[in-house]
Amino acid sequence: MPKDTTTGSSAGREGECACQVGRRAIVKGLALAGCAAATEMLSGSSAFAESKRSRPEPGDHLVYMTGDNEGKVVNPADVKLGEPPVLVYPMDPKTQTVIQSRASLLLLVRLKEDEIGPSTKPHSADGIVAYSAVCTHNGCPITSIHENKRMIVCNCHGSTFDVGNDGAVAHGPATRKLAMLPVAITDGALVVAGKLDGPIGPPAA
């Protein structure tokens, strides 16, 4: 889309302001998520609480990070084909503790089975793939899906990742693939089936 070079446009200024506010809100939300403070959720049936670990572990369930279903367990049927990534956190099913940290922020995407490569398919569940949601370029959360529906895009600088092919970088400036998380469906629930297969976020400076 051509860049709007019009100066003095109130609509342009309002759009830019809204974009900045949106980015600040996301950053603020992630900062709060990184804290280990006990924040009551799910009307007392579950809580965001302090944890001795910061990463997903096999057997964890997955819960929504934000929205009307915040803190509720993800129903696999609710991860729709062609829709933007669903941001989630892992939850210990025994303690009902949601593991909030930068290292545990994950995304779910559903693909067509024929769009999932042979090395990715064993780690998927009914077309659903899971990855770290932290962009490997500058650490922004990844929230958008590419027009071809097989790739996801970081809104900060446009890095694009192929979630049907192990999270490989399809377009920079990122140079490191996304860490993939194996998932499975057990007793109708989407669960973590392994550990993240690589480092999270951008390479160390």
- Decide if 199 is inside a domain: no
Report whether 153 contacts 174 (CB < 8 A).
no
CATH number for position 96: 2.102.10.10
Nearest 10 degrees: Cα torsion 170, 172, 176, 179? -60
Same-domain pairing of 60 and 29: no
Residue type, 184: A
- Decide if 15 is inside a domain: yes
- Decide if 200 is inside a domain: no
Nearest 10 degrees: Cα torsion 78, 113, 106, 158? -110
The DSSP output letter for 121 is G
8 confidence band (pLDDT: 50, 70, 90): very low
Report whether 106 contacts 132 (CB < 8 A).
yes
Report whether 27 contacts 157 (CB < 8 A).
no
- Decide if 63 is inside a domain: yes
Q: Which two tokens stand for residue 126?
A: 């009914």
Q: What is the pLDDT of residues 128-137, one digit of tens each?
A: 999 999 999 9
Q: What is the pLDDT of residues 110-147, one digit of tens each?
A: 999 999 999 999 999 999 999 999 999 988 999 888 87
Same-domain pairing of 6 and 99: no
**pTM for the predicted model, two decimal places:** 0.73
Same-domain pairing of 71 and 162: yes
Q: What range does the domain containing 188 cover? A: 37-192
Residue type, 38: A
